[in-house]
Amino acid sequence: MAYKTLIVEIEDHIALIRLNRPDALNALNAELLGELADAVTQADANDKVRCIVLTGSEKAFAAGADIREMSTKSFVDVFSEDLFTRETEAILACRKPIIAAVSGYALGGGCELAMICDFIIAADTAKFGQPEINLGVVAGIGGTQRLTRFVGKSKSMDMHLTGRFMDAEEAERAGLVSRVVPAKKLMEEAMGAAQKIAEKSALTVKAVKESVNRSYETTLREGLLFERRMFNALFATEDQTEGMAAFVEKREPQFRDK
Min. distance of Cβ 216 from ligand DAK in angstroms?
A: 19
Choosing from 35, 87, 112, 189, which is the catalytic residue? 112
The single-letter code of the amino acid at 143 is: G
N-to-C CA span, the chain:
30
Question: Using CB under 6 A as the criterion, which residues of the chain lie in contact with ligand DAK when the complex forms?
Answer: 24-25, 27, 63-68, 78, 83-84, 105, 107-109, 131-132, 135, 137, 140-141
238 is catalytic: no
For ligand DAK, the closer of residues 135 and 224 by Cβ is: 135
Of 209, 206, 179, give the one whose Cα is nearest residue 192: 179
Min. distance of Cβ 103 from ligand DAK in angstroms?
A: 13
For ligand DAK, the closer of residues 56 and 108 by Cβ is: 108
Q: Give the rounded distance of the alpha carbon of 218 from its chain centre.
A: 20
The single-letter code of the amino acid at 124 is: D
Phi and psi for 70 in degrees, rounded to 5? -75, -25
Which residue(s) pair with 55 in the sheet? 18, 101
For ligand DAK, the closer of residues 51 and 111 by Cβ is: 111
Min. distance of Cβ 114 from ligand DAK in angstroms?
A: 12
Contact present, 122 and 180 (Cβ < 8 Å): yes
For ligand DAK, the closer of residues 61 and 255 by Cβ is: 61
Phi and psi for 239 in degrees, rounded to 5? -65, -30
112 is catalytic: yes
Min. distance of Cβ 109 from ligand DAK in angstroms?
A: 4
Q: Which residues are catalytic, by number? A: 65, 109, 112, 132
